[in-house]
Amino acid sequence: MLEALEWISEDLSYFQTDLNTDEEKTSETAERTIKHPMHWLVNKSSAYGKYFSGVSQSKDQNQGKLSPLMKHMLIYYYGGGNITTIFSLLTNQKDCNPVTVLENIISLYPSNPMKAQMPQVDLVNYIASHFALSCLSTNSPKLAAFQDLQRLSHQFPKEKQRCLPSALFLLVLLFWPEEQDTEAEKEHKYETVLFAVEHLHKIYDKKLKDIPPRKKRIYTHFFLSNGTGFEKFVHKSKFETITKLLSISEKRLKWFSGEVWKMPAMSKLLKCVTGWTEDEKVFLEGPKGMKFHIPALKTSSVPHNNENVTFYLGFTLKGPVAYNITVQM
């Protein structure tokens, strides 16, 4: 059952549906026999954790009396069993206080994770829980320092082909360079990011090798923002606060036409990065003039000529993608 839930979670972390944007225009496919697959996974994971925890899910639970298995199952019950259910806490806030839930999840992990040598899956969920919590409460006492999570990520397998896709995705977030970094720091971070992206591409291509190009799609979880550490990223759920006054049809139209990117609130929320196009490919400049290819979410948005461009960066389980590519005048 655990393996089945993790397998479903991985697929949804790539391809979950988003009815408000134009990313999922092919959503009327066979998998829609389950109308809301993410909600289905959240409910099944919670039921799984509740059934096997063997304890009552009361708020005043004595952590000291819980066995490691009970804690693991409670993490599932609260929604911390995989990155899909963890990030769903950012969009499904009607039935619970997501800050309290995420703090409960984090408190069920070892108090000193650096010494605990957690399995890779647990490391992924622990770090992802911090990213989710940072989106809701940067002042939470349960929120670990960003640098501590960077150090903790060194416990991921050194051979990147042994890393889970979700681990590689988190490495890209953790080590995406910042403007105040020294050249040596940027070079080290880019090396980590490029290795992670290379393997994310391989896994994605393998996963979709039998899918026709017109049906291939990818879900964007985070976007680059103007900040450092956790504040360097914005979860896609934040967009809902910008478009909440629009009807579903208006949202779809604005996403499809690209008008949503021109909304003033959006330009304040996201960081506009500069790059260039070459042979209809988009590039960023890395340290020492290194070329970093950033695939465009829409290939039709890439200018045919070689141009200097600006764009927004999205982060997917395929790697970074370019949004709203605009030629600099």
Tens-digit pLDDT string for the chain (329 aa):
777 877 777 777 776 655 444 444 433 444 445 567 777 777 777 887 777 776 655 444 566 678 888 888 889 888 898 898 899 898 876 667 999 999 999 999 998 888 888 999 999 999 999 999 999 999 999 999 999 999 999 999 988 789 999 999 999 999 999 988 998 999 999 999 999 999 999 998 888 777 766 666 788 999 999 999 999 999 998 888 888 777 788 888 887 778 888 888 888 999 999 999 999 999 998 877 788 999 998 888 899 889 999 999 999 999 999 999 999 87
pLDDT at 28: 41
Q: How far is CA 309 from the centre of its chain?
A: 25
Length of the chain: 329
* C-alpha to C-alpha distances, 36 to 94, 221, 243, nearest whole angstrom: 16, 17, 21
Per-residue pLDDT of 244-277, as tens digits, reads 777 788 888 887 778 888 888 888 999 999 999 9
pTM of the model: 0.85
Specify the DSSP element, H or E, that contains 101: helix 98-107
Positive or negative, the Cα torsion across 154, 155, 159, 161? Answer: negative
* R_g of the chain, CA atoms, integer Å: 20
Q: If you average pLDDT over every residue of the chain, what do you get? A: 84
Question: How much of the chain exceeds pLDDT 90, in percent?
Answer: 43
DSSP label at 296?
A: B
- Give the type of residue at 46: S
pLDDT per residue over 7-48, tens digit each?
777 777 776 655 444 444 433 444 445 567 777 777 777 887
Query: How high is the pLDDT of residue 171?
Result: 97
Q: With residue 276 as reference, give the H or E element that holds it.
A: strand 272-278
